[in-house]
Amino acid sequence: MCHCSTEYGARKLRVALEERFQSCGLQLHPDKTKIAYCKGGSRKGGYSTVTFDFLGYTFQPRWIQTRKGVQGLYFSAAISQKSAKAIRDEINSWPWQYWCHKELVDIRNFSRSRLSGWLNYFSLFGRSFIRNVLFHFDKRLSRWAKKKYKKLKTLMQAAKRVNFARINNPQVFPHWQKKSMGKGWT
């Protein structure tokens, strides 16, 4: 990732990088190497590409509120759709059907380090964006509770049970803890 102040400077840098890579016997990936305009804040110009993915984050203009309370369009990062889907797919691949006879502590022991890692990595930029991804874990946990406890007849009853556990025992899972939830989490 390189920063340039002008489009001309970015194109010139790309040519220089291509030449340098070729001299080392390498080449830039044609699909992954792009010039993107970091639109937002005081940069209001137009360009065809204003978003890109890098290290599991999507960088793009977002309507956000700054720490000083000023709302506006700023160029910032958040978890990418590809990374969010990969996390949801991994959560779905866990052996939920075999955990019907297990306790919550077993699920916690299995998932705690993974949830903590995802939360720590993806909450670096915009903690609220990882909320929906980790909410998927809570939905799966509700389905588990419905299967485990037969008196919970509906998924809504199971979700209420999980929310009750989240409020009364926030230390069970890392994303339940208020200190890691950031602004807007309850």
186 residues of the chain, pLDDT tens digit each: 666 667 677 677 778 888 888 888 888 777 777 766 666 666 566 666 667 777 888 888 888 887 888 888 877 888 999 999 999 999 999 999 999 889 999 999 999 999 999 999 998 877 778 888 899 999 999 999 999 998 999 999 999 999 999 999 999 999 998 764 444 443
pTM over 0.85: no
The sign of the dihedral angle between the CA atoms of 42, 46, 47, 52 is positive
Average pLDDT over the chain reads: 83
**What's the confidence (pLDDT) of residue 183?**
45
CB crowding 63-81: b at 16 or more within 10 Å, else e: ebeeeeeeeeebbbbbbbe
Rounded-to-10 torsion of CA 143, 146, 148, 149 = 160
Query: Are 51 and 36 in contact, with CB atoms under 8 Å apart?
Result: yes
Dump pLDDT digits (tens) for 29-81. 777 777 666 666 665 666 666 677 778 888 888 888 878 888 888 778 889 99
